[in-house]
Amino acid sequence: MKNSIIRKLLSAAVISSATVSTNISAQNLSVTITNLTHGLAFTPALVAAHDTSGNLFDTGSAASANLQAMAEGGALSGLQNDLDAITATHTSAGAPLMAGSSVTLTLNTDTAPANTKLSVVAMMLPTNDGFIGLDAADIPAAAGTYTFYLNAYDAGTEANDELITGGGAPGVAGIPGDPGAMAGSGATGGVAGTDSNNNVHVHRGAIGDDDLSGGNSDLDNTVHRWLNPVARVTLVVK
């Protein structure tokens, strides 16, 4: 009887210790973003842990002005202000992420235990208003490594004309540039008119052409086309 009681007490202590360890370790997050495309770059990514009251985008709904600024020009300040308003924990990368490369960011939510959702966004270049997105995924409570594959989304705020004009401000047509320096120039007309879907939606991809000094697109159809998923997020809960 005495041995049985001791075993029960030890078992209870182990369970209690495991629970405390899980609750503490779940506050430290490592987020690695990998660019899975052949020839696209991602502008500096925004990674956030937040509560259930907010998110960065809603598929099927119109993009916010701050999402539009990110999707058309890579600007993060507006979305960062949105996150500050809901006491989110967030960080951002310092440089564009080229094809085949990875970047690791860290978050600590010790002071904000309600921030149990993970969101990630970054503009894709060269696109008009395409971005990678992870929308309010549950952050697991248990320590471990978790993988998410991200689609490319279209903000629905600008026609996908595929013309590199140096544009990038909301309402200014055109693609800011190609960090990989593999695009052409001098295209006219563009490959697409006004989008029929003005809400955030899964991106149809680039069309491109094989004329790097003219044609209907400045994008190279042997370099800039893609299929989903376009990014991998590896989350390590410590």
179 falls in which pLDDT band (50, 70, 90)?
A: very high
- Residue range 190-194: mean pLDDT, rounded: 77
Query: Residue 129: which domain range?
Result: 28-237
Contacts of 92 (CB under 8 A, 6+ apart): 44, 45, 46, 47, 76, 80, 105
Q: Is 4 part of a structural domain of the chain?
A: no
Residue 8 lies in a domain: no
Residue 58 falls within a domain, yes or no? Answer: yes
Q: Which residue in the block uniquely carries the two structure tokens 């890579």? A: 74
What pLDDT sits at residue 193? 67
- The closest alpha carbon to 157, from 43, 57, 64, 41, belongs to 64
Range from 3-7, 14-18, 139-143, 190-194 carrying the lowest mean pLDDT? 14-18
190 within a domain of the structure (yes/no): yes
What is the pLDDT at residue 191? 87
CA distance 78 to 58: 16
**pLDDT tens across 42-76, in order?**
999 999 999 999 899 999 999 999 999 999 999 99
Strand spans (E) along 160-212: 201-202
pTM (two decimals)? 0.88
CATH number (domain holding residue 72): 2.60.40.2130
Q: Provide the number of structural domains found in the chain.
A: 1
Q: How far apart are CA 44 and CA 80, in angstroms?
A: 13
* Distance between CA atoms of residues 180 and 233, nearest Å: 22
Q: Is the pLDDT of residue 9 over 90?
A: no
In a domain, residue 13? The reply is: no
Percent of the chain predicted with pLDDT > 90 = 83
CB neighbourhood size of 184 (10 A) = 19
pLDDT in tens, 211-233: 999 999 999 999 999 999 999 99
Q: What are phi and psi of 65, to 5 degrees?
A: -60, -35
What's the whole-number mean pLDDT along residues 139-143? 94
Average pLDDT rounded to a whole number, residues 4-14: 38
DSSP 63: P
Residue whose tokens read 């937040």: 50
How far, in Å, CA of 41 to CA of 134, rounded? 17
pLDDT at residue number 195: 73
pLDDT of residue 48: 98
Q: Which is nearest to 126 in space by CA: 156, 92, 157, 152? A: 152
| Alpha carbon distance 47, 45 (integer Å) | 6
Quick check: 38 pLDDT over 70? yes
Amino acid making up residue 162: E
Alpha-carbon span 225 to 38, nearest angstrom: 8
Mean pLDDT, residues 26-38 taken together: 91
Q: 112 burial class (0-12, 13-18, 19+ CB within 10 angstroms)?
A: middle
Answer whether residue 22 is part of any domain: no
1-5, 21-25, 227-231: least confident range: 21-25
Cα-based angle 137, 138, 140 (whole degrees, multiple of 5): 135
